[in-house]
Amino acid sequence: MPTLTLIQAVNDGLKVSMRQDESVLVFGEDVGPKGGVFLATEGLTAEFGKARCFDTPLSEDGIIGTAIGMAANGLRPVCEIQFQDFIFPAFDQIVSEAAKLRYRSGGQYTAPMVIRTPYGGGIRGGLYHSQSGEAYFAHTAGLKVVIPSTAYDAKGLLLAAIEDPDPVLFMEPKALYRHEKGEVPEGHYTVDLSTLRTVREGDNVTVFCYGSMVPVVEKAAAKAAEQGIQCEVVDLRTLLPLDEQGVLDAARKTGRCVIVHEAPRFCGYGAEISAMIAENIIEYMEAPVRRVTGFDTPFPNTLEHHYLPDERRVLDAIEEVARY
């Protein structure tokens, strides 16, 4: 079984899907012969031709609008938004058109399309290339929001997303593109959407995370174990639809929870997890839920290392809820 980086796994997943289904098309800004800013689409134009992997104008709303039309007419487009920060000109197309197509047509039309986009910090990209906007889209019925954290999941979740009958926003943690490596099966396989991944088992504190925060939490959990605090580390993977029962079971197991994400704290995705726990299993909780997040400011450039949650901040939260 080959060992791939996360970005190589994405590339492999695209190739596998395009080889087995001629209706799969890949397009976006610079994704053609250049292979994309991060080389996620490297080699696709050479293998499949310009009709199936091609560059578009610099128009995010045009990219998404075109994908919706293709999806409604029998194709399976996989379009790339070069950085998640650039997705907002296409916000209306995503939340008002793609996500609503099945509902507004009474099921006559669907939008089987995937929007791939790198998100988050870790490359010193500053405020216009480092945002984490998952909460904007997780608020939208009819849309799926997926964030892998491993090479295995990146390929398996991407293949599942491409085969899904509805639109999927596939957000890739660019900080892990070349730092996360793992064994990835050759050929076709899928990882079910709306399923959690238990990264580490423990009985004292449950830590929920996703994307680039997973390895940060793993390091903090290892440090906590040296103090006798055993953490259950849970990778959410699919934010919408969320495996709600899985979240509640993991929270109930320890009665003490920490939620970690790099997006800002206020109205961040962690607030939904916290509310879900409070509304359903408050009687099982032994401590208040603690969130470790980015700050409620624009994403900084030179102070990126202070903005992003790190091992120390996560460990502090774990120790706090363990002591409560």
| Positions marked active-site | 129
d(CA 108, CA 106): 6
* Both structure tokens of 38: 């991060």
* Both structure tokens of 144: 């799926």
Give the CA diameter of the chain. Answer: 60
Helix, strand, coil shares, percent, the chain, to 5: 40, 20, 40
Decide: 187 and 9 in contact? Cβ < 8 Å.
Answer: no
Question: Which of 139, 6, 28 has its CA nearest to residue 90?
Answer: 28
d(CA 324, CA 321): 5
DSSP, collapsed to helix, strand or coil, labels residue 171 as strand
